[in-house]
Chain A
Amino acid sequence: MSDANESILRVEGLRTWYPIRRGLLRRVVGHVQAATDVSFEIAPGRTLALVGESGCGKSTVGRSILCLENPQEGRVEFEGRDLLSLDATSLRAARQRLQIVFQDPMASLDPRMRIRDQIAEGMHSFGIGADEAERTARVAELLERVQLDPRTMDRYPNEFSGGQRQRICIARALAVEPRLIVCDESVSALDVSIQAQILNLLRRLQEELGLSYLFITHDLSVVRYLAHEVAVMYLGRIVERGPTERLFAHPAHPYTRALLAAIPSIDPARRGEAPPVLGDVPSPSRPPPGCHFHTRCPVAMERCRREAPPMFAIEGGESRCFLSEAPGRAD
């Protein structure tokens, strides 16, 4: 655990549920429990990967941190201030240092705006750059930083390939000098050869600018390459957290183990292994009682069906599994 003062982002007990309304009076009949009791922190210049399958709430957490959702509970401390308690004006100011890059490079750029205007948009709202010439120079500099030709700044998004658009999105986020970038599945829609380019770019930017990343993804193989720390989510809760190397070498939670085993390997010797878990992920609007994973867990016990396990501290992280309770059973 790093010291509280050292972390740039500190999320504590975050809960974001979406009400399900039915009927004429729009009564709340239930909740999509998108994120419950989510806590983690990110140190400056480090990357935390938030990993999980669809419906696990990883994107909700990302959007909650940017205050694009309204969490019901918890604290999101960014550079020492709780974003959730800020008024609109201070929030806007705080957002300058907190940016997001999305998954779909087709949907994340306005098709009817030149890319120079899109990159400069954030500069306008935070008063970066004294005049048009200065801003144009900065747009050119940003494009170069993401390895695009500055002469293309007058083009529209449809003239760029998927990978190039993702670079433009990164440039747009960098335009307002952020400290933390939330990458929401930012490389998932890209081809392998392009994905490697963007991953390398993200890493180089981190080294050059000291950025922190919250890297949200479903793809564990990407995580291993980029992240310093990993938090695995399942049905709205973090089930395991720890440094990347430890998590890959000695996964503590059965779900982490299943997730790792499910990645199709490109090692020809490893083929035809049995699927690690059966069935589909249950709906987050009706998560199973007790430990959410017990319906698919290969080592579930009677206790798991009744009791929800808390986070247990393990060597190099935390795990939300009763098997991690007793010392020495961490593996």
Chain B
Amino acid sequence: MSGLDPYVWSNLVTVALVVGGLALARFVRGQRLWREASVELWRRRRVAIVVVGVYLVIALLDSIAWKGGVPEGTVGVLPNAPLTVVDRLFLDTKEASYSAPLADVEFYGGRPLRRPGTHLLGTDILGRDVLYMSLKGARVALLIGGLTSLIAIPIALFFGVGAGYFGGRFDDFVFFLISTLASMPGILLLIALIMVMGRGTLSVCVALAVTGWVGFCRLSRAETLKLRELDYVVAARALGVSEPRIIWRHVLPNLAHLIVITFVLMFSGLVLSEAVLSWLGIGVDGSWGQMIDGARDELSREPIVWWNIGAAGTALFGLILAVNAVGDAVRDVLDPRTLRAGE
């Protein structure tokens, strides 16, 4: 950890994610059921998938960073700082203060801008390009949604499937855990956790995961209870298949559609939660939530500084809408009832 710069880690993780994504795609191609589902998904929600894809590409471009290649004395860049592709696209765009979209002069005072007419969405109070900030928010949003889900879903599955399948003491324990967590006000728990762990992307993700796994845990427990009694699981037991193998081969694949659907639905909920956290001042740096929070006061100015909040809101809204649209279709496509429709 300490030996490497954070940006190297970020690069490694990005590569790992891309490789993992490709491996997943390969797997999906190999399994006819999943392949057919994804083709159907593409048929139904082409636009939304493309939109999500654009966000993904932006986030990936913002995740690969390297040092150097920047002329000395560029405004707003620390010497020897690692810069991502997105950073490099917006090098040397920093202004002194607010400017309206495509304006030539500053919003207050009317001094001429360094780069007049180039800020498509204007600049914010610190003179940062709003388009640049909005693009950088994509990575944060996907990180919050993705990382949190990756922490929460395995926890939920472990407890939910275990409790549902084995029952007994473990079930009692899990049920106690769920009831305890569910009886605490979520937002207070969130704040407390972030206070304890300190601010930062990882701790926000962990805190969101700790408060967010309960719902899916309950769902997977109930579903496992049902699956456990199904004839093909009983038949597998009669065939001498071991319990871990039954879970791996019969229970988890039949929960897969739930996992995918939960992931998609959880994702948009998490991105929105982060916006709430930002509003409370404990969000993640560089998120759309923070942009919205920062623009709060600007709405009372005369004339209104609208482009900042407008850009962040639109970016957030676009992602949530696209993800929800895909999620909706995922639910229809993966519904096990459609598997039996072949009759």
Whether A and B touch (Cβ < 8 Å) is answered with yes
**Could you list which residues of chain A lie within 8 angstroms of chain B, going by C-beta atoms?**
63, 66, 68, 92-93, 95-96, 98-100, 102-104, 106-113, 118, 121-122, 124-126, 156, 158-159, 161, 169, 172-173, 175-176
Please pick, from A103, A104, A118, A125, the residue contacting B240 in the complex, using a CB distance under 8 A.
Answer: A125
A112-B254, A122-B239 are known contacts. Are A156 and B32 too (CB-CB below 8 A)? Answer: yes
- Chain A positions within 8 Å of B4 at CB level: none
- Chain A positions within 8 Å of B240 at CB level: 92-93, 95-96, 122, 125-126, 176
Contact between B341 and A158, CB atoms less than 8 A apart: yes
**Could you list which residues of chain B lie within 8 angstroms of chain A, going by C-beta atoms?**
32-33, 230-232, 234-242, 245, 249-250, 253-254, 256, 336, 339-343
A110-B250, A176-B239 are known contacts. Are A156 and B340 too (CB-CB below 8 A)? Answer: no
Inter-chain CA distance A99–B237, complex, in Å, is 10
Contact between A111 and B238, CB atoms less than 8 A apart: no
Contact between A102 and B239, CB atoms less than 8 A apart: no
Write the nearest CB–CB distance from A189 to chain B, whole angstroms.
11
- From A156, which residue of chain B is reached at the shortest CB distance? B33
Please pick, from A103, A113, A176, the residue contacting B253 in the complex, using a CB distance under 8 A.
Answer: A113
Q: How many A-B residue pairs have CB under 8 A?
A: 80
A112-B33, A156-B32, A158-B339 are known contacts. Are A68 and B239 too (CB-CB below 8 A)? Answer: no
Contact between B254 and A100, CB atoms less than 8 A apart: no
- Chain B positions within 8 Å of A121 at CB level: 236, 239, 241, 249
- Chain B positions within 8 Å of A108 at CB level: 230-232, 235
Please pick, from B232, B242, B340, B343, the residue contacting A110 in the complex, using a CB distance under 8 A.
Answer: B232
Given contacts A108-B231, A169-B235, 12 further A-B contacts (CB under 8 A): A66-B238, A100-B235, A112-B33, A112-B254, A113-B250, A113-B253, A122-B241, A126-B240, A156-B33, A156-B339, A158-B343, A172-B235
- From B31, which residue of chain A is reached at the shortest CB distance? A112
Contact between A95 and B242, CB atoms less than 8 A apart: no
Contact between B342 and A158, CB atoms less than 8 A apart: yes
Write the nearest CB–CB distance from A100 to chain B, whole angstroms.
5
Contact between A100 and B238, CB atoms less than 8 A apart: yes
Contact between B238 and A125, CB atoms less than 8 A apart: no
- Chain B positions within 8 Å of A103 at CB level: 231
- Chain B positions within 8 Å of A113 at CB level: 249-250, 253
- Chain A positions within 8 Å of B235 at CB level: 100, 102, 108, 169, 172-173
Contact between A104 and B231, CB atoms less than 8 A apart: yes
Contact between A112 and B239, CB atoms less than 8 A apart: no
- Chain A positions within 8 Å of B236 at CB level: 121
- From A94, which residue of chain B is reached at the shortest CB distance? B240
Write the nearest CB–CB distance from B216 to chain A, whole angstroms.
20
- From B229, which residue of chain A is reached at the shortest CB distance? A107
